[in-house]
Amino acid sequence: MNMDIHSACLYLKSIANMNRIAGLTDPAIIALTTAMETVCDYVAKSEIEKRDGVIYHPSTAGGEQ
Amino acid sequence: MNTISLNIFTNATESAPNTAVISRTLESIMIMFGPDIYDRLTFYLDPHPGIDKARDYYENIKKHYPLPEIKYCQSLSDGYLKSIRDARTDYIFQCEHDWEFLPTIKHSLDDILYVMKTRGLYHFRFNKRENKVAGWDTKLEERLSFANDNDANILPMKIFFSYCLTPNVSNNPHIIDVKKYRDEIAQHIIVRPGSLGIEREINAAGKYQSAIYGPLGYPATVRHLDGRGKK
């Protein structure tokens, strides 16, 4: 499978949504689904925090070079 | 008392990081429905397609509107599903970032929620054109609502406002019943890129209706500002 990070996140999100529609009861599936959503949200956050090709890191807040 | 919160869905378009369009949308909502809605506002920000401008756009939104939370999402459908999951109110007002509300709206949110509740409406939309058969609104049926809808013993019945039923559950500015969506309708939504994945998929189920503000022939209540490319 060949896809960019955005497409991969959409794919993971769609699977996570299908899990939720199916009605989650298994703790392992709940944890996996939540993890998938968290990772995808983190990717979106990272994309927003990217500037000039550099990933913005919280530790550089206020002193970004 | 029915409760409602406002969700504005935005993304980094060609006009980002300029916030003029989203500001115009939000200001017209507050002019039409009152400034209190600002206290129950959440932004859903999709950084695509202009990822390189997304951070400046985020910061500009934060600068203009410091209080509301800005949540990240991968697309409109992703943010839309998240907004349903995260909702803490009975109803949520779902609006993309590039709409202007027009003074043809003569009723408050409380009035509209009252009618939604008493008539069991789960999707209430503001129309971008006159209320007539056009586009995906393939059939319109006018309905009257009454101020004493919940008590038929109170006579005479006082006409509140009219609305039209349509089979088109559109993404255009609308209010949804959170419980109905959580329990049933959200299962038809598919996470897709851009603004895809919601209206076409729900309409394809072939069993849902939307209500449009105003009687047949009523003029447009919203105007599309088209936030995709205009600076």
Residues A12-64 have pLDDT tens digits of 999 998 888 887 788 899 999 999 999 998 888 887 776 555 554 444 444 33
Q: Confirm or reject contact between B52 and chain A (CB < 8 A).
A: yes
- The verdict on a CB contact (< 8 Å) between A41 and B81 is no
CATH fold of B4-224 reads Spore Coat Polysaccharide Biosynthesis Protein SpsA; Chain A (3.90.550)
pLDDT at A64: 36
pLDDT at B9: 97
pLDDT digits (tens, 9 = 90+) for B144-171: 877 666 665 655 556 678 999 999 999 9
pLDDT digits (tens, 9 = 90+) for B51-104: 888 889 999 999 999 999 999 899 999 999 999 999 999 999 999 999 999 999
Is B103 within 8 Å of B176 (Cβ atoms)? Answer: no
Q: Please, what is the average pLDDT of chain B?
A: 91
Could you tell me the two tokens for B22? Answer: 């989203």
- The verdict on a CB contact (< 8 Å) between A49 and B48 is no
Domain boundaries, chain B: 4-224
Q: Which residues of B touch A50 (CB under 8 A)?
A: 51-52, 54-55
- Its ipTM equals 0.71
Could you tell me the CA-to-CA distances from B122 to B93, B96, B148 in Å, in that order? Answer: 11, 19, 20
E strand or H helix at A50: strand A50-51
pLDDT at A63: 38
Q: Confirm or reject contact between A46 and chain B (CB < 8 A).
A: no
